[in-house]
Structure 1
Amino acid sequence: MPPVLSKILDVKQFMLKSTKRKVISGAVIAVILYLLKIRLTKSKTENMKVKRDEKKGKGNVDRMFLKRILKLLKIVIPRLNSPEILDLVLLTASLVARTFLSIYVANVNGQIVRAIIEQNLNMFLQRILKLGVVAIPASFVNSFLDYLNKSLAIRFRKRLTQHFHDIYLNDMIFYQLSNLDSRVANPDQRLTADIEKWANSLSQIYSNFSKPVLDIILFSRKLAELVGYQGPMYVILYYLISGFLLRFLSPPFGKLTAIEQRLEGDYRACHSDLVYHSEEIAFYRGHAWEKTRITNSFNNLIGHTGQIILKRLYMGVFDSMLVKYGAVMVGYAVVGLPVFGSRREEYLKSVNNDPSAITRDYVRNSSLLINLAKAIGRLVVSYKEIQQLAGYTTLVAELDEVLKDLINGKYMRTMLQSNENQPGYFAQKQSLVSMNRGQIVETENTIKFEEVPIISPNNDILAQKMTFEIQPNMNCIVTGPNGCGKSSLFRILGGLWPISSGKLYRPHIDKLFYIPQRPYLPAGTLRDQIIYPHTKLQMLRKKVTDDDLTELLRLVHLDYLVVREGGYDKCNDWNDVLSGGEKQRIAMARLFYHKPVFAILDECTSAVSMDVEATLYQTAKMLGITLFTVSHRPSLFKHHDYMIQFDGEQGWNFKKIEHSSE
């Protein structure tokens, strides 16, 4: 073959190979770009979801976090002489002791290695004995640190729980939080699991920060004496750069933690609803619908948790690369400074080029450097723990802020606002509303509504301004279609709902008593069911005996319960033990025990026979209790003298009942 033709063929073959390589390279690059596009799209979607959830509550480590954590710290550490301060002092002293013990152990380790190299049995045994002796206080200090951390967590949880209980269980705040304000969907989750996790996270933060700081100071000082100031400076500089990179790459774990806790609360609420409404759900055969709802809630929680652990996966990769393996390379460079650094000749002269001494110093410096690296590493990666604390702080602080608003008479929920351009149309908005814009005046024994409308907390008008007056012995029955405002009237009377305008004259709340259709039977004795919410001590102060309680049970035809259930001190699950009619009659016995001036009876005898019902109403009137009854049953009209009738279209009528024409 001619040389020219051969060269042409070689060039052509090279071009073909080059083209093939370009195609393969282009395909690889295209695949990489496609994967990056998928990842960026997924990240963008996740970020959009996080931003939507930010509207519900942020979990950033920012100025708001510092402001909130300082407020909560004032609650859990109220004064300088509190037990929490003593625990913190002991914790700090133990951390310092453990650091000095670590330095001492590093020295002993170096001496043990030197004894091995020199084949000195006596020195070896002495150093082993030293190590065994120091293990006793070191073991105690480590266990004591764990004990103090858990003790602090318990103290923090106790302080914060007491703080919230004092507010949440004061007057009617617990009712207002669940029924008036819409900012905290699951207060039970906030008051139990979230407070516990916040307390545990806070107690760990102190150790995880103070211990590394102490180690950095003390180990750096010791290393500077041995290898020069360049050694610890290089290590600290490397970790600062690593920390900056981790901070830049770290996802918003605080926000993700806050969202996770909300999803936990939603999932728990689904199961709570299933338990509370089990009878109605079973009657409607709603198990399939509830299964779908609970499964969706659980899947949302698991999906979000899966995203978190996936983000922790790739953050763990960066942590290991920067904090672990990168630190090893820097560490070898530092421990090699005495032999290879600028002070090499001075160091070798000081140890007389003794290999055993060099080995001893290497082992000792390595131990110190490892401890220093661990301390800086814990300090760098602890940012994730701060983010987690920020998430819990957001949830707990939000609860505190909402409770403070309720104490100040303000609540927030979705309000209905009419649109003038579109009649009959209602727009929804979130707004902070003052609790009572009307006026409540306490009287001796009079109930009087003066231009008071019945308006729900979300601004839904149920009845126009009402004006009427009820004196003692003016027994009144309230009727009307469902949803017209009958029960809402008594929510306003009892102070459960705010008054938007007008004046409400009423006696002290102790003179009002409410009995619903399904009475509340708390866990406790048979006696507790009758005297609730009094205690046995309060009953005795009232000069009421168990014999008096038996007489009350006889009035409601339940005196057989004392023998059947084994006495007044018998504890039982009364919701399961008693029938529907027995529960309602227990509630009437409770009414007779308290003898209020006014009794609000909301369909409270629907499961009782008509003859027993008549006896109960006659007994109440005989005891001087003025009846305020919500019912549609014509048989109850004869026990009342007045009627409030709602028409379901915001209208109402107050009139006297003429029994002759009934």
Structure 2
Amino acid sequence: MKLANHLLNVIKAMVASRERKAATVGAILAILYGLHWFQNRNASKYAGVQKAKRTDRGSVNMKFFSQLWTLVKVVVPSLRSKESLLLALLSILLVARTMLSISISSVNGGVVKAIVTRDFNSFLKKITSLAMFAVPSSLVNSALDFLNHKLAIIFRTRMTRYMNEKYLKGLVYYQISNLDSRISNPDQRLTQDIDKWATCLSNLYSNITKPILDIILFSKKLADLVGWEGPSVIIGWYFLSGTVIRYISPPFGLLTAQEQQNEGLYRACQSDLVNHAEEIAFYRGNDWEKDRINKTLMVIVRHINTILSKRFFMGTFDSMLVKYGATMVAYAVLGLPVFGPNKSKYISSKGVNTGNITRDYIRNSSLLINLAKAIGRLVVSYKDLQSLSGYTSLLFEAKSVLEDLEQGKYKRTMIEGSMFNSSNRGKYEPSDKIAFEDVPIVSPNGDILVQNLSFTIESGTHTFIQGPNGCGKSSLFRILGELWPLFAGTVHKPPMEDMFYIPQRPYLPHGTLRDQIIYPHSLEKMASLKISDKDLEELMKVVKLDDLVDKRGGFDQIEDWNDTLSGGQKQRIAMCRLLYHKPKFAILDECTSAVSIEAEGAIYQHFKDEGITLITVSHRESLMKYHNHVLKMDGEGGWKFYKILS
């Protein structure tokens, strides 16, 4: 009570003059206005993002903790895992760091006492003790930093492998971009978002565990020295500060999630420019692309500026409440032994030796500073928790979508009035032939290209597919390969290893020349099939690329083959790949558009000699003679399948 009266008298003295009264009133009004401004801004500024809030993205609530726990079980799979061991070691080091801080506080007090009393021998002893504490303290600090970064890397590795396992299972990697519309930039989720989530999680463990340990241990030590009133007052002040900050804090988690989505859109713009550079160059679309990229960049910049401005105002309130306000409360606590209710007992125990009082003041102030820092970090860590909430919601959404696709569930906006939906399913039947029975050719969003398609391609039924662009030729292959959903009917098909697909622009991954031919086989798989490099040379001769082996330095030469080979060479590499795999059925989608008519004729004839059944999509009528059946689509949903008589 006496302490409260003392503080009240100090406050009255501060506002005794008119100028100080005016300054105090102005400060109070500024704080009230700031609270009002932040509240109204939160209500109005984010009125337009309520759709995003519907998913509670960025909110620290029970849903967030449930999602976080689900993801944590992925990166910390068991109590015996190396992640658990590192977390236990980190916890031990955090306790050691706090105990070292308490010991150093006592040594600091002794150093100051020796200076005040001019005791040189005691001064040397205390300095020596402080130097001895420097070695373990430095080691523990470095170890804590090392373990935080190590945990972030391990969390990222574990989560990336988990996500990649689901992403690359079956056709999920294709379906997530082409069938499902929930995640527009999966590459962003599987790279940067995982990295930032892992870093946030590893840092948050230390940022929360260390302050809690510090609060418990420093409070106990401080209570032994000044009574429980000291830590109670400082903890109460920070609790009040935390309540105010919680009330006025903008939804930084939501803002972080939006920032990541904006970054993903910006990266997509840059990727489009790289992937479609040739077409853009023909259209001279550089100015349009520049305008688009700049607009997307400005969306990011404006959003980041919004975040920075909010962090500026929140930093102001943090400093007022957590830093300067806590300093005033801390001085009141430090004055308890001298000015508090037990001052007589304290002064009599210390006597007239001011060195003892100085030692106690330095020791207590060091403990109090560490306690205040711990509570401050715990209060301010709420913003880190919001950031983690934003990344957690993004990763959890990606995990949920991958699991849905793994079970054959996808969500996509269908064309209005479409007779098909994602719940309709046809069936696939294993067979030694390719046959469609009453199969509609329908795009994933319900656009009907062909109403009912029925035909049979047996071994030796070389089929030439004709029709205008957009009539469903390539769509037919996507349904055959189970890339697109089969909405109705029955498809009879052989196993995937008996079918091989060559598109107009073949995929040539970064690797050796051998990799381009045997893809997706590995060198070990090639050896198990008893195929040698000499056999590959013979295949390269068939497609008229035998000179490429010597020019490029053999099959082990590693290059970016998309850049070093011409369009015709790329297509002949793909046909060499077909000869290597030697399937029963070959699906050739405009795969000879950059190859001469003479070369493609020889290659096609070799395909037939090898017993490969050809299914070709091409605008070259010259290829018709290598086929004995035609599937003709008219582009209006009609089709004909017939045998070539001559």
> Which bracket does the TM-score occupy, shorter chain normalised?
over 0.9
* Alignment-derived partner of residue 183 in structure 1: 182
Distance 2:435 2:625 in 1: 23
Residues 57, 530 of structure 1: alpha-carbon distance in 2 compared, 3 angstrom cutoff: farther
Specify the alignment match of 2:437 in structure 1.
450
Shift of 1:37: 11
| 8 Å contact from structure 1 (residues 440, 503) kept in 2 | yes
With structure 1 as the length reference, what TM-score do the two structures score?
0.91
| Aligned-residue offset at 1:49 | 3.1
Out of 520, 527, 532, the residue aligned to residue 533 of structure 1 is 520
Instruction: Indicate whether 1:469 and 2:456 are aligned.
Output: yes
User: Is the contact made by 1:447 and 1:507 (CA closer than 8 Å) also made in structure 2?
Assistant: yes
Matched-pair contact (CA < 8 Å) for 2:39–2:248: no
Equivalent pair of 2:418/2:446 in contact (CA under 8 Å)? no
Q: Contact (CA 8 Å) 1:599, 1:625: kept in 2 or not?
A: yes
User: In the alignment, is residue 508 of structure 1 matched against residue 495 of structure 2?
Assistant: yes
Cα distance change, pair 231–40 in 1 and its aligned pair in 2 (3 A): closer
2:438 matches 1:439: no
Closer, same or farther: CA 184–529 of 1 in aligned 2, 3 Å:
same
What is the DSSP-based 3-state SS (H/G/I as helix, E as strand, rest coil) of the residue aligned with 2:575? helix
Question: Separation in 1 of the partners of 2:268 and 2:574?
Answer: 28
Distance 1:210 1:418 in 2: 56
1:36 Cα shift?
11
Is 1:264–2:263 an aligned residue pair?
A: yes
Residues 46-195 of structure 1: pairs in structure 2 closer than 5 A: 46-54=45-53, 58-195=57-194
- Whole-Å Cα distance in 2 between the matches of residues 276 and 56 of structure 1? 33
Q: Counterpart of 1:580?
A: 567
Deviation at 1:578, TM superposition (A): 1.1
Q: For the residues of structure 2 that align with 1:451 and 1:432, how far apart are their CA atoms?
A: 17
CA contact (8 A) 2:257 2:390 kept: yes
Pick aligned residue for 1:612 from 596, 599, 606: 599
Give the letter for the 1:558 counterpart.
L
**How far 1:454 moved relative to its partner?**
0.6
Could you tell me the percent identity over the aligned residues? 56
Rounded Cα–Cα distance in structure 2 between residues aligned with 1:80 and 1:35 = 47
Number of the residue aligned with 2:21: none
Residue in structure 1 matching 2:484, options 473, 497, 501: 497
CA deviation after TM superposition for structure 1 residue 488, in Å: 0.2
Q: Give runs of aligned pairs for residues 407-426 of structure 1, distance below 5 A.
A: 407-418=406-417
With over 3 angstroms needed to count, the CA separation of the structure-2 counterparts of 1:459 and 1:153, relative to structure 1, is same
Provide the rounded CA distance (Å) in 1 between the counterparts of 2:601 and 2:465.
18
Hey, what's the Cα distance between the residues in 2 that align with 1:607 and 1:324? 71
Q: Output one character per residue of 1:206-254: Cα deviation in whole Å (capped at 9) or x when no partner.
A: 0000000000000000011000011101111111111000000100000
Residue 422 of structure 2 aligns to a residue in which SS?
Answer: strand
* Structure 2 CA distance for aligned equivalents of residues 574 and 383 of structure 1: 50
Q: Cα offset for 1:52?
A: 4.0
TM-score (ref. length: structure 2) = 0.93
What is the deviation of 1:433? 3.1
Q: In 2, are the aligned partners of 1:50 and 1:256 still within 8 Å (CA)?
A: no
Cα displacement (A) at 1:304: 0.3
In 2, the alpha carbon distance for the partners of 1:41 and 1:385 equals 23
Q: 2:359 maps to what in 1?
A: 360
State whether structure 2 residue 320 is matched by structure 1 residue 321: yes
Secondary structure of the corresponding residue to residue 46 of structure 2: helix
Letter in 2 for 1:438: G
Partners of 1:608 and 1:203 in 2: CA distance: 55
Q: What letter is aligned with 1:164? A: M
Deviation at 1:183, TM superposition (A): 1.0
- The CA distance in 1 between the partners of 2:33 and 2:88, in whole Å, is 56
How many angstroms apart in 2 are the aligned matches of 1:34 and 1:285?
53
Alpha-carbon spacing, 1:94–1:643, altered in 2? closer, same or farther (3 Å): same
Q: Sort the Cα spacing of 1:55 and 1:483 in 2 relative to 1 into closer, same or farther, 3 A.
A: farther
Distance 1:77 1:503 in 2: 45
Helix, strand or coil at the partner of 1:414: coil
The C-alpha deviation readout for 1:478-534, integer Å capped at 9, x for no partner, is 111111100000000011001011111111111111000011111011111111111
What is the CA distance between 1:197 and its match in structure 2? 0.3
Distance change >3 Å, CA 594–CA 181, structure 1 → 2: same
C-alpha deviation, 1:46, in angstroms: 2.4
Greater mean alpha carbon deviation, residues 51-60 or residues 225-234: 51-60
In structure 1, runs of 5+ residues without a counterpart are: 1-31, 421-430
**CA distance in 2: counterparts of 1:303 and 1:252, whole angstroms:** 17
Measure how far apart 1:87 and its partner are: 0.5
Q: Partners of 1:351 and 1:617 in 2: how far apart?
A: 104
The aligned residue for residue 624 of structure 2 is 637
d(CA) in 1 for partners of 2:36, 2:220: 49
Deviation at 1:58, TM superposition (A): 1.6
Give a deviation string over 1:189-218, Cα, whole Å, max 9, x none: 111111000000000010000000000000
Is structure 2 residue 243 aligned with structure 1 residue 244? Answer: yes
Which structure 2 segments of 5+ residues have no match? 1-30
Pair 484,432 (structure 1): closer, same or farther in 2 beyond 3 Å: closer
Distance 1:419 1:40, change over 3 A: farther
Q: Deviations over 1:263-288 (max 9, x none)?
A: 00000110011001101101110000
Query: Secondary structure at the residue paired with 1:139?
Result: helix
Measure, in 2, the Cα distance between the counterparts of 1:541 and 1:573: 27
Q: Deviation of residue 54 (structure 1)? A: 3.5
Q: Does the 8 Å contact 1:602/1:630 carry over to 2?
A: yes
Name the CA shift for 1:158/1:134 in 2 (closer, same or farther; >3 Å).
same
**Aligned AA for 2:334?**
V
Letter matched to residue 440 of structure 1 = Y
Give SS of 2:308's match: helix
Q: RMSD in angstroms over aligned alpha carbons?
A: 1.9
Letter in 1 for 2:427: Q
CA contact (8 A) 2:222 2:230 kept: yes
AA matched with 1:100: M
Q: Matched residue pairs, number?
A: 616
- Residue 455 of structure 2: SS of its match in structure 1? strand
**What CA distance in whole angstroms lies between the structure 1 residues aligned with 2:87 and 2:418?**
58
Question: Aligned with 2:84: secondary structure?
Answer: helix
From the superposition, tell whether residues 89 and 33 of structure 1 become closer, same or farther in structure 2 (CA, over 3 Å).
closer
Distance in 1 between the 2:575 and 2:358 partners? 88
Contact 2:42–2:250 (CA under 8 A) maintained in structure 1: no
The Cα offsets for residues 169-191 of structure 1, whole Å up to 9 and x where unpaired, read as 11211011111111111111111
SS, match of residue 66 in structure 1: helix
Structure 2 CA distance for aligned equivalents of residues 230 and 188 of structure 1: 54
Alpha-carbon spacing, 1:104–1:121, altered in 2? closer, same or farther (3 Å):
same
Residue of structure 2 equivalent to 1:29: none
Render the CA deviation track for 1:288-334: whole Å, top value 9, x for unaligned. 00001100100001110110011000000000000000000110010
Change (3 A) 1:52 1:617: same
8 Å Cα contact 1:411/1:432 also seen in 2: no
User: How far apart are residue 50 of structure 1 and its match?
Assistant: 2.7
Q: Is the CA contact (8 Å cut-off) linking 1:57 and 1:395 kept in structure 2?
A: no
Whether the 8 Å CA contact 1:115–1:121 is kept in 2: the answer is: yes
Compared CA separation, residues 86 and 273, structure 1 to 2 (3 A): same
2:386 match: 387
- In the alignment, the residues of structure 1 paired with residue 77 and residue 321 of structure 2 have an alpha-carbon distance, to the nearest angstrom, of 40
Give 2:426's aligned amino acid: G
Deviations 1:602-626 (A, max 9, x none): 0000111111111111111111111
CA distance in 2, matches of 1:566, 1:272: 32
